Structure 1
Amino acid sequence: MLRTWVAVLTALVAVGATPTRSMATPGEVAPPSRVSATDVQTVGDGSRASCTSAAVVRAVHRGGVIRFACGPRPVTITMRRTAKVSNTSRRVVIDGGGLVTLSGMGKRRILYQNTCDPKQTWTTSHCDDQAYPRLVLRNLTFARGNATGQRYDGGGGGAVFVRGGQLKIVGSTFVANRCDRRGPDLGGAAVRVLDQYRDRAVQVVGSTFKNGTCSNGGALSSIGVSWRIQDSTFVGNRAVGRGANPARPGTRGGGSGGAIYLDGNRFTLSLIRTTVRGNVANEGGGAVFFVSNDRTGTMLIRRSRLVRNPSRGFETQGLPGIFFLGARPPTIIRSEVR
């Protein structure tokens, strides 16, 4: 699958990413400048009824710091369209204040950013490695996102799909999101990430991922991308594909990484003060599937608990719930893995 295309991807900084249609764009625009980091916009006028899908879509497209005024009580905004980040935005911060749920209603992906998608505006000739947009998701809940059938740049990302720029997730909850149930390399029921700026790690802080379902990566999935995850929880996520990667004959592939599915060449995973419990993989890695194809990738588990994450197909001996191929065995410090 994507792994077999390495020769095509040697021009990319993040090896293992999905190929783009073209790295050069006619009529290239100047670097992003339309939205400054201090721009603030508000979704809603203080009433629940004013907080609509259309208002969220407009705000995300404009960029800047996005806050919500939907009243004092928790509110669920049913997304009738996917909110898409414009690549002309330097920074997009979506802050739900702990009261806002964005729901895909089980019908659609909730949020999309892709610096290599010309429909969102190409801003450089190196879309696979650009600093912007910087996307921050803070104090939000993403529920019932569904990317089934979305195959652009490989698909996946039931709630959130990000390619390019930089991503940070803080204090957010992802629940009951899903993507395609079959396929050898697609994944990320909650979040799918490709091509981060200068191979910087995606940061996940104080967040929860529950009850996600996808072919691979019942919560998170990426190719050639590093992650630093701290003070977070993964519970009840499932990788439901069958046939692994590459797909066994007679299968459609998938089934690895009950919670987390990572593939590519040089990348890292750090789990710090994080709980991964009760996730399931039909194939490898009930908790974590980690394959560094050139064996340069590394994994750190510090002050974390990875417990009761069955791998129904295969896992690395001595590492319950983990399938790992990397530079050296995972570094495990003051952690429980069983």
Structure 2
Amino acid sequence: MTSLAALLVLGVASATLPACAPNDPAPSFEAGSTASPTALPTGGQSEAPGARDGLGGPGASASPKPANKVLAAGNPNGKATVPAEARAVDTSKPTRTIGTGTPASCTSAAVVKAVAAGGVITFNCGPAPVTIKMAATAKVRNANGPKIVLDGGGTVTLSGQGQRRILYMNTCDEAQGFTTSHCQNQDHPQLTVQNLTFADGNSTGEKAEGGGGGAIFVRGGRLKVVNSRFVRNRCDRTGPDLGGAAVRVLSQYENKPVYVVGSTFDGGSCSNGGALSSIGVSWVVLNSLLRNNEAIGSGANPAKSGTPGGGSGGAIYCDGNEFTVRIAGTIIENNTANEGGGAVFFVSNNRTGTMKIESSTLRRNPSAKFETRGFPGIFFLGARNPTLTNSKLS
């Protein structure tokens, strides 16, 4: 893609993703539904096979019911309507269960094996909160699905121990199996994480697909995040177009959005996108909280002479051509960017992208070098200025 002169002045540019089938048509855009006024979980999952315990093998004990009280995440005062497809998945009949009722039975190996096997996955680690120290990254196998749901019941933390990425899905990674002839635009796997905490993930040094995604990296299929917390995640400190200390996404089926609902992103640090980052991907962020994240690179994109590049999008970094971002019922505060967009960095290279901010508050998100006049904390290049409805920027 060729950046315009204005982008070069500000040090931003596009990135091109490798494709599995170059003759595939470009994905079309389809916005998320706004139907259904309630935000309660629904049974979006079909009838699942009998539960499996421990490491995913057959077990005699019944799977636990989801916790009655889930973790506190997101903006409790957010009132944005959550469409049906963005709600939590019913996990009352899981495919498999990690653990046999004790914290010791909930191991990194059990998580890795269950994620690879796919299906609806719950945890049985006992009634108290538990932290599972991940000794390896859990990777989705593309043929095992089509739906993969990971539900922590509000008591489980997956920790990367500051050493590794926690969760990985990539439809264009041959090591995880090709399932179609057009890996960059397929509707599966469909990954949902809910009622979970992702802590201390770190993808520093990961070079595949350009890096980023300290806690979760996704390319292809679909991703949904519901009622989850992301704390102290990291990715590379420098680089012009990598990002997403918590979540990095490259391509989604037919450009359908990544839904982030009722979730918290706190204390993330990366070259760009201290919480979320993407190229050519649409987002719908509802009733969430993004705070204390930082974009710490230097030199923007493309990297200015003598600099390593990066430093944009303290909380959110979005680049590409046709994509949209909708932020509703959300608080974005106290995030910082060494270059532009202390809260949000949004560059649509062909100027077709749009952003809506509804019933949200963006405050104290300093941009050290540049931002769009009249939109504190935001650097925006798209079809038109961001649309603000009942929102405050300061």
Shorter-chain TM-score above 0.5: yes
The amino acid that maps onto 2:98 is V
1:42 maps onto 2:97 in alignment: yes
Q: Where do 1:275-290 residues align within 5 Å?
A: 275-290=331-346
Q: What count of residue pairs does the alignment treat as equivalent? A: 316
In 2: Cα distance, 1:16 partner to 1:139 partner: 33
**Cα deviation digits, residues 258-317 of structure 1 (max 9, x gap):** 000000000000000000000000000000000000000000000000000000010000
In 2: Cα distance, 1:286 partner to 1:38 partner: 44
For CA contacts below 8 A with separation 6 or more, give which structure has more relative contact order: 2
1:304 maps onto 2:360 in alignment: yes
1:17, 1:194 within 8 Å by CA — same for their partners in 2?
no
How far did residue 38 of structure 1 move?
Answer: 2.0
1:85 to 140, 146, 158: 140
How far did residue 23 of structure 1 move?
Answer: 3.5
**Cα deviation digits, residues 103-142 of structure 1 (max 9, x gap):** 0000000000000000000011100000100000000000
Partner of 1:266: 322
In 2: Cα distance, 1:84 partner to 1:46 partner: 24
How far did residue 230 of structure 1 move?
Answer: 0.3
1:204 maps onto 2:257 in alignment: no
2:196, 2:229 within 8 Å by CA — same for their partners in 1?
yes
1:17, 1:224 within 8 Å by CA — same for their partners in 2?
no
Partner of 1:333: 389
SS in 1 for 2:111: helix
Tell me the C-alpha RMSD between the 2 structures. Answer: 1.5
Partner of 1:19: 18
Task: State the TM-score, normalizing by the size of structure 2.
Answer: 0.79
Task: State the TM-score, normalizing by the size of structure 1.
Answer: 0.91
In 1: Cα distance, 2:161 partner to 2:252 partner: 29
In 1: Cα distance, 2:340 partner to 2:48 partner: 45
1:92, 1:134 within 8 Å by CA — same for their partners in 2?
yes
Q: Which one has a bigger Cα radius of gyration?
A: 2
Runs of 5+ consecutive residues of structure 2 not aligned to the other structure = 4-13, 23-45, 50-94
Partner of 1:109: 165
Partner of 1:152: 208
In 2: Cα distance, 1:23 partner to 1:84 partner: 23
1:51 to 79, 89, 106: 106
In 2: Cα distance, 1:265 partner to 1:195 partner: 11
The amino acid that maps onto 1:73 is A
1:156, 1:179 within 8 Å by CA — same for their partners in 2?
yes
**Cα deviation digits, residues 161-217 of structure 1 (max 9, x gap):** 000000000000000000000000000000000110010000000000000000000
Structure 1 runs of 4+ off > 3 angstroms?
A: none
Partner of 2:281: 225
2:15, 2:241 within 8 Å by CA — same for their partners in 1?
no
Partner of 1:32: none
Runs of 5+ consecutive residues of structure 1 not aligned to the other structure = 6-14, 25-35
In 2: Cα distance, 1:37 partner to 1:240 partner: 46
Q: Where do 1:91-240 residues align within 5 Å?
A: 91-240=147-296
2:120, 2:147 within 8 Å by CA — same for their partners in 1?
yes
Residue 249 and residue 240 in structure 1: after superposition, are their counterparts in 2 closer, same or farther (change >3 A)? same
In 1: Cα distance, 2:224 partner to 2:248 partner: 13
